[in-house]
Amino acid sequence: MKRHSDKPIKLTEVCLRDGSHVVRHQYSVEQVVTVAKALDDAGVPYIEVSHGDGLGGSTLQYGKSLVDEMTLIEEASKVCTNAKISTLLLPGIGTVHDLREAYKRGAGLVRVATHVTEADVAEQHISFARELGMEVHGFLMMAHSAPVSKLVEQANLMEQYGAGAVYITDSAGALLPSEVKERVKALRESLNIEIGFHAHNNLSLAVANTLVAIEEGATRIDGSVRCLGAGAGNTQTEVLVAVLNRMGMNLGIDLYKIMDIAEEIIGPILPSSQEIKKGSLTLGYAGVYSSFLLFAERAGKKYGIDPRDILIELGRRKAVGGQEDMIVDVTSELVKQKVEVINR
């Protein structure tokens, strides 16, 4: 594979952040410490720790955490000798005060995440992270839902604010390889900073899309051991490492050790396997934020509505991350429509 960048590829492991959705944000200190220590020993350079929806996400709307995320960040940082602890912040959920506290507890990298059309809300947080001395990257979520020109415009804003990299974030797992190629190429031609790619596996394309992103010039990539993440999960770290090794691209991650982590440490944590089932497949098909799945399934069960109908309607309405409260409203409307049909 001929790459369009000679910079080294750096992976951020997200099983302790995106994977938090899968365990309903019930990670214990012991679990986080065990996973972080093993990932550090395997050579993973960045390990992301927070509530699934980022700093400040532990709420009734998004799901209450078992353990305060600041404690998890602090305990993870204590056992990492080489890896840098990363965290995620969505302006409007997390604040600069949360960011300062996360930095004090050991976070060295923050990814500031916004909807793909709303980069302007990240200026304060990106600037503040730089003042603290943190690495800071921009994270443009739901990247499939805006024209490439808009993505480029918003990525340029994040670069102007001081981000050292901007991620194309396929929050719905909806992008096709050709669409990934087009987006990474456009950013490569426009930005002077690194390009990142974060995938979800709802259409079974996470590894393939990540490879396309790397080929086109992305140097910051995300993976999750055992595919542990919202929806059908993220790019499976151990699979990606094996594939890249075969292609002659060594990330510095010990393949056997990352395999063992997947099998022996993450496996027992999983409530169920990260398969592409009808719900997660519908996420990718409809282009809906991956963390909406559990909420849609819960609402569907409560109101007797097929969760796929809820997700399709959310996709039609172009719901974005942070609008979980829409799920109940949409479900109620579908129930009303169902009753009207019955009564005709």
Q: Is 41 annotated as a binding residue?
A: no
Consult the annotation and say whether 3 binds a ligand.
no
Angstrom distance (rounded) from CA 242 to CA 274: 19
Instruction: For residue 225, give the nearest of 251, 246, 247, 255 by alpha carbon.
Output: 255
User: Taking the chain (344 residues) in consecutive chunks of 10 residues, what is each chunk's mean pLDDT?
Assistant: 89 98 97 98 98 96 95 98 98 97 98 97 98 98 97 98 98 97 98 98 98 98 97 97 96 98 97 91 94 90 93 90 83 84 72
pLDDT reported for residue 170: 98
Residue 309 assigned as binding residue: no
Domains of the chain plus CATH, in order, are 10-269 (3.20.20.70), 291-343 (1.10.8.60)
The predicted pLDDT at position 326 comes to 86
pLDDT of residue 155: 98
Q: Report whether 120 belongs to an annotated binding site.
A: no
Residues labelled as active-site residues: 21
226 labelled as ligand-binding?
no
Q: For position 2, what pLDDT does the model report?
A: 81
At residue 336, the pLDDT reads: 86
pTM equals: 0.94
List CB contacts of 295: < 8 A, sequence separation 6 or more: 324, 327
User: What is the per-residue pLDDT for 304?
Assistant: 93
